[in-house]
Chains A and B, each alone.
Chain A
Amino acid sequence: MTHDWYPDDFIRDVLGRVKTIAVVGATDNEVRASFYVTKYMTDKGFRMIPVNPGLVGKEVLGEKAYASLKDLPERPDMVDIFRNAEAAGAVAVEAAELGVPVIWMQLGVRNDEAAAKAEALGATVIMNRCPKIEYARLFGEIGRQGINSNIITTKKRPVKAVKKLI
């Protein structure tokens, strides 16, 4: 499949079925992008598990941090990767080998070779997107600060679609 563009329904479906997300490249620095994503998604009811060898022994927003995906006590529904394209590729393949069903590489990160390998192992792969932006875009929040959601709808969208997810 092409990774140049994803249908809104596809992204909506993915975000609607995952509950636990491992954040590779998580941080406890409250002004970094990965913290913003962790905080936002946690507030929406997702369980965000920090994965970063530098955070072992610490917690981020009440969740214990792990050094690597293979250290996680249970398999997450999705992994969100905050690494450069090369490092993200290795993480993606590792995640697919561990049986993580959804592998997400952050906005600006794309590794087609790794994506193909992960897909061959049965994973769904999304690249060069941010789950926080997509969540806010697809569930009607992002326009509140003047951002173009590119969504045209004549349906009434509930203010808190989010909490129904879990």
Chain B
Amino acid sequence: MTDESPRSFGFETRAIHAGSAPDPATGARATPIYQTTSFVFEDVDEAAALFNLQKVGFIYSRLTNPTVAVLEEKLANLEGGVGGTCTSSGHAAQILALFPLMGPGDELVASKKLYGGSLNQFANSFPRAFGWKVTFVDPDDPENFRKAITPRTKALFIESLANPGGVVCDIRAIADVADAAGIPLIVDNTMATPYLCRPIEHGATLVVHSTTKFLSGHGNSVGGIVIDSGKFDWRNGKFPALSEPEPGYHGLRFADTFGHLAFTIHGHAIGLRDLGPSMAPLNAFLTIAGVETLALRMERHCANAKAVAEFLKGHPAVAWVNYAGLPDSPYHALAKRYLPNGAGAVFTFGLKGGYEEGVRMVESVELFSHLANIGDTRSLIIHPASTTHRQLSPEGLKAAGATPDVIRISVGLESVDDIIADLDRALNKLG
């Protein structure tokens, strides 16, 4: 044998080929859509081995599916993880990531600058439904996480690039706090995608995504994934679901028997089996097609976003722009460190004016679509105070960064001159 070190393939090659070998049954070059609920057993012995997790194969599409598995392997590869578990949505991925770690009365310390939908899930439903207590801290100072950790804290949760405030977290510093406490850092990498940022390289244990956004990239399929780095030893006494005998599998200890693959195997064998939020094969197929062009799309998304941010910065009707790619952003230094290929394509800006101007802005644009999503080929716009955040009080709007003057955009892949012209026309109508 030779002693040469492994030559790894580049990101673009892996985005296309990782996990996507030709279909072993038919040789189909594109990944087939295995639109089936179930898979026949060869015999009773094979069925037993599959149910005992002694054989790697397919039983039922709530647990594993060949199309979904291709996407799982592809995204795990791109993030530098050992495995992934796809879910029906990004919110389901967050539940599935925490499910093996948390029990009633356990605690999570999370950034208070998360996407609003995550804040609702964490602050309201987690405590009510599961008895999980979530403490929110300002992520700008990693020390805040350390101060909030108690003996019941089982994980830290941040976004690499927050939606939508242009907030970039110091992943390495927060990972060091998690390491010192013997708990995993979970990073939502939805806005950055592994093309712009790979949190595992900076010390994260788990990465979660809403694959609905830039990964699928075309606004056509809702989904999520949890990816495990394989680097955390779950046998430190804090994570009994992974380290103690599992009654549903004859006393199997996942961390003992499956080692660094334990989290991913548990995610399918227990998480998807018992919670049930599996990804549909068609959504996996569409997302696989999206990920193949991720590098090209993200390059253009970021280039367009930077041009749009610079244009808005100079427009007389705009008061401020929160884009980490601009040199005057307080997060610019962190963006250069963690997002060297671009600061993403979703950000907020403030209008000189208030609620009425915000409403007129979203109603005046013609190329932008007025809707509540991000990460589409199409440019998207929303006025949070009149839509997603309209139930909040004035104080709540301020805390959420959704004051009446705020507009959020997701810059798409149209001709950048057309994107800018559309915004310019709408802004000029405000004056």
Contact = CB atoms under 8 A, between A and B. Distances in A.
A145 B18 contact: no
Interface of A is mostly: loop
Interface string B30-60: 0000000000000000000100111111100
30 contacts: A7-B1, A7-B2, A30-B52, A31-B245, A31-B249, A32-B256, A33-B259, A36-B54, A40-B55, A43-B54, A107-B259, A143-B19, A143-B70, A144-B66, A144-B69, A145-B83, A145-B264, A146-B64, A146-B69, A147-B76, A147-B264, A148-B73, A148-B77, A148-B84, A149-B19, A152-B13, A155-B21, A155-B22, A156-B21, A157-B22
Interface stretch (B3-11, B141-149, B190-198): B3-11
Interface residues of A, number: 39
A43 B57 CA distance: 13
Given A107-B259, A145-B264, A146-B268, A159 B24 contact: yes
Interface string B230-269: 0000000000000001000111110011111100110110
Interface string A122-151: 000000001001001000111111111111
B82 interface: yes
Nearest to A147: B83
Contacts of A1: 1, 3
Given A5-B5, A145-B64, A146-B267, 19 more contacts: A1-B1, A7-B6, A31-B252, A31-B253, A33-B256, A33-B257, A141-B57, A143-B73, A144-B56, A144-B66, A145-B56, A145-B265, A147-B261, A148-B83, A149-B73, A151-B21, A152-B9, A152-B17, A157-B24
Contacts of B49: 39, 43
B69 A40 contact: no
A32 B257 CA distance: 6
Nearest to B16: A152
Nearest to B56: A141
Contacts of B6: 5, 7
